[in-house]
Amino acid sequence: MIQAQRIGLMGGSFDPPHHGHLRAALEAVEALRLDRLLFIPTGAHPFKGESQRMPPQHRLAMTRLAIADEPRFDVSDIEIQRAGTAYTIDTLRDLSQQFPADELILLLGADLLGELHLWKDWRELLEYAHLCVMNRPGYDARPACSLASGVLLKHQAPPDGEPIPDYDDQYFYGALTIRDLEISSTDLRQRLRQGRSIRYFTPEPVIAYIQEHGLYGQATQ
């Protein structure tokens, strides 16, 4: 009999992926005792324009390269393969069918809480997965919207730093403070367009891929 796994879900543009993503993911794996963590590059985003983003096949390839040396990390193309706008609730519904015996934990950046009440069917998120906010030191991880706050706090988990228990079918909402490496994809794109190095900001295979394909204004090699 296959033992159920605890799987973390980390969505993002990953445009490009960097060590900040990887470090946050590893801290989540250790703190939440995850068996696996799925990186989920976003498809068509409901709140962001697509014109400035790198095509999904490149973001997917870079993400696979970035995580290649960590066996607990994996990549899902579920949102990229979906036609139309990618909504988190649809992804959770699909993944809950794909992993019916496993425990899913959706990882969110604290900055996303302010718009959580605008998400499609956001009240149903906790019907499919636990919700863990990856909080930066000194950042307020509480939802900015009182409506969202009232719903989520009914599922409050133990304080940050305490072990996350086995909840079975009872889904929790909680926060996890992570180290902030002060790295952003926006900054990396700007550096590349200015001809500056991004070495040590992202894994070398990602840099090689960017150069090979001439991404972000780089000359192909």
- What does the mean pLDDT of the chain come to? 84
| Inside any domain, residue 97 | yes
Please tell me which residue, 61 or 132, carries the higher pLDDT value.
61
| Inside any domain, residue 81 | yes
CATH code of residue 89? 3.40.50.620
| Inside any domain, residue 212 | no
From the list 137, 135, 179, the residue with the least C-alpha distance to 157 is 135
5: left (phi over 0), alpha (psi -120 to 50) or beta: beta
Q: What average pLDDT does this structure show over 145-156? A: 56
First vs last C-alpha separation in the chain: 49
Q: 157-183: per-residue pLDDT in tens?
A: 554 444 444 444 456 667 787 877 889
| Inside any domain, residue 207 | no
Q: How far apart are CA 108 and CA 174, in angstroms?
A: 10
From the list 176, 171, 174, the residue with the least C-alpha distance to 161 is 176
Q: What percent of the chain has pLDDT over 90?
A: 56
- pLDDT at 218 exceeding the cut of 80: no
| Inside any domain, residue 70 | yes
| Inside any domain, residue 172 | yes
Q: 107-130: per-residue pLDDT in tens?
A: 988 778 778 888 999 888 988 998
Residue 10 token pair: 């980390």
Q: Three-state secondary structure along the chain?
A: CCCCCEEEEEEECCCCCCHHHHHHHHHHHHHHCCCEEEEEECCECCCCCCCCCCCHHHHHHHHHHHHCCCCCEEECCHHHHCCCECCHHHHHHHHHHHCCCCEEEEEEEHHHHHHHHHCCCHHHHHHCCEEEEEECCCCCCCCCCHHHHHHHHHHECCCCCCCCCCCCCCCCEEEEECCCCCCCHHHHHHHHHCCCCCECCECHHHHHHHHHHCHHHCCCC
| Inside any domain, residue 189 | no
Q: 97-107: per-residue pLDDT in tens?
A: 999 999 999 99
User: How many structural domains are present in the chain?
Assistant: 1
Which residues form the domain of 19?
Answer: 6-183
| Inside any domain, residue 220 | no
Single pTM value for the model: 0.86
- pLDDT at 89 exceeding the cut of 80: yes
Q: How far apart are CA 22 and CA 131, in angstroms?
A: 19
| Cα torsion through 131, 72, 21, 212, rounded to 10 | -140
